[in-house]
Chains A and B, each alone.
Chain A
Amino acid sequence: MKFEEKKKVLRNCSFLSGLHDSILASLADHSSILDLEAQTPILTKGEDGSNMFFIASGRVKVHDDDVVLAYLGVGDVFGEMAVLDSGVRSASVTTEKRTRLLCLEREDLWHVIAQSPDSLRTIIASVLQRERDIVKDVTTRTAQLQAYEKELEIGRRIQADFLPEYIPEVENWEIASFFEAAREVSGDFFDVFEFGPDGYIALVIGDVCDKGVGAALFMTLFRSLIRATCQLGALNHQIASKASSEDHIRQILQTSIDSTNRYIATTHSKSSMFASVFFGVLETDSGKMIYINAGHESPVIFKRKGDPVILERTGGVLGLFDFARYNIAATKLEKDDLLFSYTDGVNEAKNEAGEQFSDWRILQAGASGWSDVQGLLDNVLSQIKEFRGRAAQSDDITMLAIACLGKSRDKAKSLV
Chain B
Amino acid sequence: MGALSILVGQEQGHAPVTVFEIEGDIDAATYTELQDKAAEAIEAGAANLLLDLGQVEYMGSAGFRAIHSIANMLNTEQKPGMHKSEHVKLLNPKGEVARVIETLGFDSFLEIYDDRNAAVASF
Contact bitstring B24-47, A, C-beta under 8 A = 1, else 0: 000000000000000000000000
Residues 307-342 of A contacting B (Cβ, < 8 Å) = 313, 315-317, 320-325
Expressed in whole angstroms, the minimum distance between the Cβ of B26 and any Cβ of chain A is 14
Expressed in whole angstroms, the minimum distance between the Cβ of A262 and any Cβ of chain B is 12
Expressed in whole angstroms, the minimum distance between the Cβ of B1 and any Cβ of chain A is 9
Write out the residue numbers on chain A whose beta carbons fall within 8 Å of the beta carbon of B61: 209-210, 274
Q: Which one of B62, B71, B108 lies within 8 Å of A316 (CB-CB)?
A: B108
Interface size on A, residues (CB 8 A): 21
Judge whether B105 and A294 touch: CB under 8 Å: yes
Tally A-B pairs: CB < 8 A.
56
Query: Provided the pairs A210-B61, A323-B82, A324-B83 are in contact, do residues A272 and B106 lie with their beta carbons within 8 angstroms?
Result: no
Write out the residue numbers on chain B whose beta carbons fall within 8 Å of the beta carbon of A209: 61, 64-65
A274–B67 alpha-carbon span in the complex (Å):
12
A315–B105 alpha-carbon span in the complex (Å):
6
Residues 52-103 of B contacting A (Cβ, < 8 Å) = 61-62, 64-66, 68-69, 71-72, 78, 82-85, 103
Q: Which one of A272, A273, A320 lies within 8 Å of B109 (CB-CB)?
A: A320
Write out the residue numbers on chain B whose beta carbons fall within 8 Å of the beta carbon of A297: 103
Query: Provided the pairs A209-B61, A209-B65, A272-B72 are in contact, do residues A323 and B78 lie with their beta carbons within 8 angstroms?
Result: yes
Is A50 at the interface (CB under 8 A from chain B)? no
Is A269 at the interface (CB under 8 A from chain B)? yes
A297–B99 alpha-carbon span in the complex (Å):
12
Is A295 at the interface (CB under 8 A from chain B)? yes
Residues 259-304 of A contacting B (Cβ, < 8 Å) = 269-270, 272-274, 276, 294-295, 297
Judge whether B83 and A317 touch: CB under 8 Å: no
Write out the residue numbers on chain B whose beta carbons fall within 8 Å of the beta carbon of A270: 69, 72
Looking at A273, A276, A320, A324, which has the most chain B CB atoms within 10 Å of its CB? A320
Judge whether B103 and A315 touch: CB under 8 Å: no
Residue of A nearest to B80 (CB): A323
Judge whether B105 and A272 touch: CB under 8 Å: no
Query: Provided the pairs A272-B69, A321-B85, A323-B78 are in contact, do residues A313 and B62 lie with their beta carbons within 8 angstroms?
Result: no
Judge whether A317 and B62 touch: CB under 8 Å: no
Looking at A276, A295, A321, which has the most chain B CB atoms within 10 Å of its CB? A321
Query: Provided the pairs A209-B61, A273-B65 are in contact, do residues A325 and B105 lie with their beta carbons within 8 angstroms?
Result: no
Write out the residue numbers on chain B whose beta carbons fall within 8 Å of the beta carbon of A316: 104-109
Judge whether B72 and A276 touch: CB under 8 Å: no
Write out the residue numbers on chain A whose beta carbons fall within 8 Å of the beta carbon of B69: 270, 272
Judge whether B104 and A295 touch: CB under 8 Å: yes
A270–B75 alpha-carbon span in the complex (Å):
12
Judge whether A274 and B83 touch: CB under 8 Å: no
Judge whether B65 and A272 touch: CB under 8 Å: yes
A295–B61 alpha-carbon span in the complex (Å):
12
Write out the residue numbers on chain B whose beta carbons fall within 8 Å of the beta carbon of A272: 65-66, 68-69, 72
Expressed in whole angstroms, the minimum distance between the Cβ of A278 and any Cβ of chain B is 12
A313–B108 alpha-carbon span in the complex (Å):
11
Write out the residue numbers on chain A whose beta carbons fall within 8 Å of the beta carbon of B66: 272
Write out the residue numbers on chain B whose beta carbons fall within 8 Å of the beta carbon of A295: 103-105
Q: Which one of B72, B83, B104 lies within 8 Å of A269 (CB-CB)?
A: B72
A338–B62 alpha-carbon span in the complex (Å):
34
Residue of A nearest to B102 (CB): A313
Expressed in whole angstroms, the minimum distance between the Cβ of A312 and any Cβ of chain B is 10
Q: Which residues of A are in contact with B by a Cβ distance under 8 Å?
A: 209-210, 269-270, 272-274, 276, 294-295, 297, 313, 315-317, 320-325
Sorted nearest first, the 7 A-B pairs with minimum C-beta distance are: A316-B105, A209-B61, A272-B65, A295-B105, A316-B108, A295-B104, A272-B68
A-B contact pairs, 10 of them (CB 8 A): A209-B65, A270-B72, A272-B65, A272-B66, A274-B64, A274-B104, A297-B103, A316-B107, A324-B83, A325-B108
Add 9 more A-B contacts to A269-B72, A316-B107, A323-B84 (CB < 8 A). Answer: A272-B66, A272-B68, A272-B72, A294-B105, A295-B104, A315-B108, A316-B105, A320-B109, A321-B85
